[in-house]
């Protein structure tokens, strides 16, 4: 893996993260925000794998496993919250739950 | 030696009493307030006793100090210490011993005041006592000045104790402003002395005196002397003392005898070597002293009010002490101070009892018949008056005054004329003291006054009366203890000195028999120019202070003044700066003339109108007006204050705006988290840039 490949991979990772972040900020449906969060998490994960491959270091792939488990845990909690919110607020619009408004 | 270490704790009970009474939120009952207030004043006297005993054993020599703490500030070391010399023992003992009876008496005198007022009274009295003890024991200028300012503040608040009476408040203000002017000079003098000597300890400063240039020593000594004279109400600072009578009687008793006015005498005595090195300043001090002694006695003779009479008498007696100090006899001055403190507080306390029984009036005429209504109060007053007059042999006042007169006689070429003046003052002293005694001792139709008193009144009077008589035996010992040379008075001189009070008593008898003569003298004295110094004070200091206070005190200060001037132009009398002072009414008539000067100075103060007659005055006024219009006006209504208020109010608006950021939406939170992360990354990138 050459340096230019790494840069291309990093740009791709940054793009993935940006798409995910945009999704979280722009969408109002909680389900879609969770999906966008997954996309955003895949960006840094790709970055870890690419950097690991470039330095020939297995720690990059180890970090990818960590990110996967993190994402799984996050989705589990997120889906549970999603179900609760749908039951309480009767809607999957994240703007409805604004109890912290100042 | 261990008893000596008690010395720094002598003022502590009084300070604790103040803190407990004024700062603790607990509600205390009347009895508890009186108990704390009186106890906090009696404890210093009890604590002082072992110190004084071990001092008599020889523990205190001239210049001994008890260091308390020293603060290292780079090259300077600020040392706080208390002196343990004969001077601080004599003065401290006097203060502690006189204050205790006065506070016991005031427990009875003030007992019927409302509870919050009573609490305020005792809190202030305790702080007053603590400040005075700090002054007399101070071994360094820091403690001295702290105590000095404390008693100044307390005297203001105690003179203006009856805040509902405008007279009391203005009297308090007058005392504060007059002594503040003097205090400023004192502070300047002490700072210059510190810069020259390089230490804050008084003994170190006095040791450095010989090495200070004479041209530098003179202003230092002059400033300190003026500061001390201001506190001691000596000419030309004497005006505040007579009006200070507006306070409660026990306050006057304490203020006039051992505290406040005595502070100046104590300071002059403590810095005696400094004044010995500046003979021209000493001469000035002596001149002002004899002037005040004679002047005060003369005015006291014509006073119709007993409290006023006693005030002028204090002025006059302090003048004797200052005279002795100026002539280089501090030990004699101290002896007179101690004796004077005893008989003056006795006079005030018994006069308070007598006027209480005379329907609350303080006029001397109202005391007629007091001998039959309040026999023991009258006799204790008579004992005090005899001591004040200095009746030969039997009273303490004679011994101390004789010592002062002897010091005057042996002071050099000016001794004889000064002695004559002092003897005349002593004669007048007997006259005014016994005028009251004769009037109070005469028959009166009205004898049905309710007796008032009890043990709390009787005990202080008896204690002080005993001191005022027996104290005379201790005068010689006091003088030699305080380091004065033994005076051997020529017999002829002693006889002449003894004749003065007796002559005075005869004069008093004549004045009481023929009040017309006194009235004629009073009428003539009223036109003496020097008496008008009070009006000048008013113009130059009090009025200006009030004006500044008005402008700074409320945002519309200048508007209020201008509005008052506009109203005054329409002949409406407005309470305020101009119409309040007596001379303004006198000059106010001229303002109606529509000539040029009147137009230019319309709505101005009478002083401006007075000065605007001549061209130089007109130029000065024009310059002053330009200055005020262009520079001073920018600060009023107080812009600085407004800016601060706006700044403080701005926070409220800022918070009202800030809470809008908190929308409660998940997306907005995410945005802020993302932006925060970006900011942190940019920061990390920027700081790791090579």
Centroid of chain to Cα B612: 37
Separation between Cα atoms, residue B59 and residue B600, nearest integer Å: 71
> How big is the CA angle at B473 (ends B468 and B475), to the nearest 5 degrees?
85
Share of chain B above pLDDT 90, in %: 4
Report if residue A18 sits inside a domain: yes
Give yes or no for a contact between B543 and B175, defined as CB atoms under 8 angstroms apart.
no
Q: For residue A86, give the CATH number of its domain.
A: 1.10.287.3510
SS3 B164: coil
B445, B450, B452, B454 alpha-carbon torsion, rounded to 10°: 120
Report if residue A15 sits inside a domain: yes
Q: Which residues of A touch B661 (CB under 8 A)?
A: 102
Separation between Cα atoms, residue B206 and residue A4, nearest integer Å: 87
3-state helix, strand, coil in chain A (%, to 5): 80, 0, 15
Query: Which one of B660, B668, B674, B678 makes the best mutation probe of the A interface by having the most chain A beta carbons within 10 Å?
Result: B674
Report if residue A27 sits inside a domain: yes
Q: What is the pLDDT of residue B581?
A: 39
Separation between Cα atoms, residue B167 and residue B123, nearest integer Å: 23
Burial B23-39 (b: 16+ CB within 10 A, else e): eeeeebeeeebbebbbb
Separation between Cα atoms, residue B46 and residue B9, nearest integer Å: 11
Separation between Cα atoms, residue A21 and residue B388, nearest integer Å: 97
Q: Which residues of A touch B666 (CB under 8 A)?
A: 33, 94-95, 97
Taking each helix axis as running N to C, give the angle between helix B166-197 and helix B543-553, from 0 to 180 degrees, rounded to the nearest 10: 100
Strands (E), B389-491: none
B666 touches chain A (CB under 8 A): yes
Report if residue A96 sits inside a domain: no
Q: Where are the alpha helices (DSSP H) in B305-391?
A: 306-326, 330-357, 370-373, 375-389
Minimum-distance CB partner of B670 among A25, A98, A102: A25
Separation between Cα atoms, residue B309 and residue B299, nearest integer Å: 8
B665 touches chain A (CB under 8 A): yes
Give yes or no for a contact between B10 and B51, defined as CB atoms under 8 angstroms apart.
yes
State whether A25 and B661 contact (CB < 8 Å): no
Report if residue A41 sits inside a domain: yes
pLDDT tens string B132-174: 999 888 888 888 999 999 998 988 888 888 888 888 888 888 8
Domain count, chain A: 1
Q: What is the pLDDT of residue A33?
A: 92
SS3 B542: helix
Report if residue A100 sits inside a domain: no
Q: Which residues of B touch A100 (CB under 8 A)?
A: 662, 664
DSSP secondary structure letter of residue B140: B
SS3 B465: helix
Q: Tokens 């003369």 identify what position?
A: B298
Distances in whole angstroms, Cα of residue B322 to Cα of each of A48, B8, B446, B512: 93, 28, 42, 31
Separation between Cα atoms, residue A65 and residue B387, nearest integer Å: 106
Minimum-distance CB partner of B667 among A94, A99, A100: A94
Residue segments in chain B with a per-residue pLDDT below the cut of 50: 1, 555-557, 576-599
State whether B666 and A101 contact (CB < 8 Å): no
Give the residues across from B138 on adjacent strands.
Answer: B82
Q: Which residues of A touch B660 (CB under 8 A)?
A: 102
Separation between Cα atoms, residue B463 and residue B96, nearest integer Å: 13
Using alpha carbons, select from B344, B326, B584 the residue that is nearest to residue B471: B344
Q: What's the distance, Cα to Cα, between the start and end of chain B in Å?
A: 71
State whether A99 and B664 contact (CB < 8 Å): yes
Q: Which residues of A touch B659 (CB under 8 A)?
A: 102
Report if residue A11 sits inside a domain: yes
Note the ipTM here.
Answer: 0.87
Report if residue A102 sits inside a domain: no
Distances in whole angstroms, Cα of residue B194 to Cα of each of B88, B199, B206, B273, B492: 21, 6, 11, 16, 46
Helix count (H) and strand count (E) of chain A?
A: 3, 0
SS3 B68: strand
| Domain around A81 | 3-90
B423, B428, B431, B436 alpha-carbon torsion, rounded to 10°: -130
Query: Which one of B665, B673, B678 makes the best mutation probe of the A interface by having the most chain A beta carbons within 10 Å?
Result: B665
Burial class of residue B71 (count of CB atoms within 10 Å of its CB; 0-12, 13-18, 19+): exposed
pLDDT tens string A10-59: 999 999 999 999 999 999 899 999 999 999 999 999 999 999 999 998 99
Minimum-distance CB partner of B663 among A21, A25, A98: A98
């Amino acid at each position: 893996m050459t340096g230019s490949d790494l840069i291309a991979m990093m740009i791709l990772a940054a793009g993935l993260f940006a798409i995910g972040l945009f999704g979280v900020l722009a969408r109002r449906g909680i389900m879609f925000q969770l999906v966008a969060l997954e996309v955003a998490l895949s960006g840094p994960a790709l970055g870890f794998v690419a950097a690991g491959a470039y330095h020939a270091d297995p720690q990059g792939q180890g970090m990818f496993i960590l990110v996967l488990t993190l994402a799984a845990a996050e989705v589990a909690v997120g889906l549970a919250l999603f179900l609760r919110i749908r039951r309480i607020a009767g809607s999957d619009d994240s703007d409805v739950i604004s109890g912290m408004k100042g | 030696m261990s008893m000596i270490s008690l010395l720094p704790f002598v003022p502590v009970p009084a300070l604790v009493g103040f803190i407990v009474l004024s700062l603790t939120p607990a509600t205390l009952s009347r009895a508890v307030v009186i108990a704390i207030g009186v106890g906090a004043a009696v404890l210093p006297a009890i604590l002082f006793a072992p110190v004084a005993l071990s001092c008599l054993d020889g523990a205190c020599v001239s210049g001994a100090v008890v260091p308390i703490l020293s603060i290292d500030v780079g090259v300077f070391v600020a040392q706080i210490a208390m002196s343990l010399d004969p001077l601080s023992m004599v003065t401290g003992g006097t203060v502690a011993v006189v204050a205790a009876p006065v506070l016991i008496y005031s427990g009875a005198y003030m007992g019927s005041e409302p509870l919050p007022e009573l609490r305020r009274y005792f809190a202030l009295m305790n702080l007053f006592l603590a400040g005075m003890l700090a002054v007399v024991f101070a071994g360094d200028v820091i403690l001295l000045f702290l105590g000095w300012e404390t008693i100044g503040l307390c005297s203001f608040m105690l003179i203006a104790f009856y805040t509902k009476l405008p007279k009391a408040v203005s009297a308090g203000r007058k005392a504060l402003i007059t002594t503040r002017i003097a205090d400023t000079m004192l502070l300047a003098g002490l700072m210059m002395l510190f810069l020259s000597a390089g230490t804050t300890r008084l003994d170190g400063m006095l040791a450095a005196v010989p090495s200070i240039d004479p041209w530098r020593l003179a202003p230092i000594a002059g400033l300190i002397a003026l500061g001390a004279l201001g506190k001691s109400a000596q000419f030309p600072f004497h005006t505040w003392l007579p009006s200070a009578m507006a306070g409660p009687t026990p306050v006057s008793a304490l203020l006039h005898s051992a505290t406040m006015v005595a502070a100046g005498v104590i300071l002059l005595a403590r810095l005696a070597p400094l004044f010995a090195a500046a003979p021209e300043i000493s001469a000035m001090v002596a001149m002002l002293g004899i002037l005040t002694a004679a002047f005060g006695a003369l005015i006291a003779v014509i006073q119709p009010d007993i409290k006023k009479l006693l005030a002028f008498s204090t002025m006059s007696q302090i003048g004797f002490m200052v005279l002795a100090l100026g002539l280089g006899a501090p030990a004699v001055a101290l002896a007179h101070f101690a004796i004077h403190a005893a008989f003056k507080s006795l006079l005030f306390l018994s006069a308070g009892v007598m006027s209480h029984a005379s329907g609350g009036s303080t006029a001397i005429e109202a005391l007629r018949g007091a001998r039959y209504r309040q026999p023991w109060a009258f006799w204790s007053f008579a004992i005090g008056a005899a001591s004040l007059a200095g009746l030969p042999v039997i009273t303490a006042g004679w011994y101390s005054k004789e010592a002062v007169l002897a010091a005057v006689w042996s002071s050099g070429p000016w001794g004889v004329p000064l002695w004559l003046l002092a003897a005349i003052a002593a004669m007048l002293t007997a006259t005014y003291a016994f005028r009251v005694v004769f009037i109070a001792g005469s028959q009166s139709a009205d004898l049905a006054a309710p007796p008032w008193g009890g043990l709390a009144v009787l005990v202080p009077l008896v204690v002080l009366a005993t001191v005022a008589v027996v104290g005379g035996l201790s005068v010689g010992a006091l003088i030699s203890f305080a380091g004065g040379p033994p005076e051997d008075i020529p017999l002829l001189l002693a006889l002449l000195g003894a004749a003065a009070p007796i002559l005075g008593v005869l004069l008093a008898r004549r004045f009481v028999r023929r009040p017309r003569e006194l009235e004629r003298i009073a009428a003539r004295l009223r036109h003496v120019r020097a008496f008008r110094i009070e009006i000048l004070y008013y113009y130059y200091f009090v009025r200006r202070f009030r004006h500044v206070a008005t402008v700074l005190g409320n945002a519309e200060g200048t508007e209020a003044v201008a509005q008052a001037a506009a109203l005054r132009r329409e002949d409406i009398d407005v309470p305020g700066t101009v119409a309040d002072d007596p001379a303004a009414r006198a000059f106010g008539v001229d303002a109606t003339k529509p000539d040029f000067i009147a137009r230019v100075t319309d709505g101005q103060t009478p002083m401006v109108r007075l000065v605007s007659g001549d061209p130089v005055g007109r130029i000065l006024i024009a310059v002053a007006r330009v200055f005020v219009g262009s520079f001073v006006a920018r600060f009023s209504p107080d812009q600085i204050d407004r800016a601060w208020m706006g700044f403080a109010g701005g926070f409220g608006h800022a918070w009202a705006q800030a809470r809008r950021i908190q929308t409660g939406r998940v997306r907005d939170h995410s945005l802020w988290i993302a932006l925060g992360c970006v900011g942190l990354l940019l920061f990390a990138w920027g700081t790791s840039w090579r």
